[in-house]
């Protein structure tokens, strides 16, 4: 299997970082809303990551990762500029539909800010009036403001502590956008399930089409394992092949969140084993004087 070189890395916070990876074929094929499956090494876990950006001229794709579990923390530690990923498969999933929309609100919360960017850009390229709503915990954690301003006709920044933009959640920004624009055709919301659910409930009384990008547990990404099952409109769907975009008004978010908690104990155990292994390696290095 080929290695895929990381040509740039940026750290947005103590847990969130960007990787720009060289993959010309994938950059040519990528469309907004699609995702990849990445492997750190030959024994690594398969990690699904939404494509946050792609540059066909440079032949690169951009991934934004949040270090929350064993494998993503390993990526944070080992994935540096000049290193490489062992495997990278994609683009996978159905591309987002960005045509025939006059006015759209693109909402990104937390890590969802990154994958909503290519959608906002694509809507703009297709002639839509684009309103961006992005949310962060504080001013210090804001990233890609310039990128969003380059493709959004309006940009609403929300922070939990009020240190930038308006104080509040992205749903507050979404409500403001709807109040000022009665002709919104569509809302796209990407972020944690609880945030996407809140956005869908915000738009439901207005009858505004609301698309969300689901992130259930995924293994093979081809519909074979069935691990990414989600209940949509009373039917079972596979996020990897039927999605990841779905109508937020028909998604069973409670079922999705329950599924995401199924392996909490296993994830905790894996994290503890990895931390212990890191400590042993560090101690061995100190003993031999190699650190």
Q: pLDDT digit of tens for each residue in the chain (291 aa)? A: 457 999 999 998 888 899 999 999 999 999 998 989 888 888 878 888 889 999 999 999 999 988 887 788 888 888 899 999 888 888 988 888 888 899 999 999 888 898 899 999 999 999 999 999 999 989 988 899 999 999 999 999 999 998 988 999 999 999 999 999 999 999 999 988 899 999 999 999 999 999 998 876 666 666 667 667 788 888 888 877 887 889 999 998 888 888 766 655 655 666 666 566 666 666 666 554 544
Q: Domains in the chain, start-ordered, CATH in brackets?
A: 4-92 (2.40.30.10), 95-212 (3.40.50.80), 214-263 (2.10.240)
At 280 the pLDDT is 64
| pLDDT tens digit sequence for 234-273 | 888 887 788 788 999 999 888 888 876 665 565 566 666 6
Query: DSSP secondary structure string, 259-273?
Result: HHTTTHHHHHHHHHH
Number of H helices, E strands in the chain: 9, 16
- Is residue 10 a contact partner of residue 53, using CB atoms and an 8 Å limit? no
Percent share of the chain, pLDDT over 90: 47
Which pLDDT does position 291 carry in this prediction? 43
> What is the Cα–Cα distance from 148 to 136, expressed in whole angstroms?
14
The predicted-structure confidence for 183-216, as pLDDT tens digits, reads as follows: 999 999 998 889 999 999 999 999 999 999 887 6
- Greatest alpha-carbon pair distance for the chain in Å reads 68
- Strands (E) across 152-285 are located at 154-159, 166-167, 186-190, 209-213, 229-232, 235-238, 245-247
Which pTM does this prediction carry?
0.82
- Is the sign of the CA dihedral 78, 80, 84, 86 positive or negative? positive
State both tokens at 94. 């159905």
Contact 251, 200 (CB under 8 A): yes
């Amino acid at each position: 299997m080929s290695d895929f070189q990381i040509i740039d890395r940026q750290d947005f916070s103590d847990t969130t970082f960007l990787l720009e990876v060289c993959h010309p074929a994938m950059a040519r094929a990528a469309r907004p809303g699609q995702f990849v499956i990445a492997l750190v090494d030959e024994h690594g876990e398969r990690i699904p990551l939404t494509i946050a950006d792609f540059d066909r001229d440079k032949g690169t794709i951009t991934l934004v990762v949040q270090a929350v579990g064993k494998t993503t923390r390993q990526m944070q530690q080992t994935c540096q500029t000049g290193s490489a990923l062992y495997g990278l498969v994609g683009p996978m999933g159905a591309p987002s539909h960005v045509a025939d929309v006059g006015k759209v609100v693109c909402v990104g919360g937390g890590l969802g800010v990154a994958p909503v960017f290519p959608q906002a850009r694509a809507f703009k390229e297709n002639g839509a009036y684009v309103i961006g709503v992005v949310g962060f915990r504080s001013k210090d954690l804001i990233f890609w403001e310039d990128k969003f301003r380059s493709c959004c006709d309006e940009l609403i920044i929300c922070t939990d502590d009020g240190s930038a933009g308006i104080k509040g959640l992205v749903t507050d920004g979404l409500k403001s956008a709807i109040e000022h624009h009665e002709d919104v055709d569509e809302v796209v919301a990407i972020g944690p399930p609880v945030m996407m659910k809140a956005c869908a409930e915000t738009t439901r009384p207005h009858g505004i089409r609301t698309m969300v990008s689901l992130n259930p547990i995924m293994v093979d990404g081809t519909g074979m394992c069935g691990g990414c099952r989600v209940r949509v409109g009373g039917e079972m769907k596979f996020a990897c092949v039927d999605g990841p975009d779905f109508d937020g008004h028909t998604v069973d978010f409670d079922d999705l969140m329950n599924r995401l908690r199924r392996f909490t104990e296993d994830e905790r155990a894996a994290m503890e084993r990895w931390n212990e292994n890191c400590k042993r390696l560090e101690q061995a290095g100190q003993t031999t004087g190699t650190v």
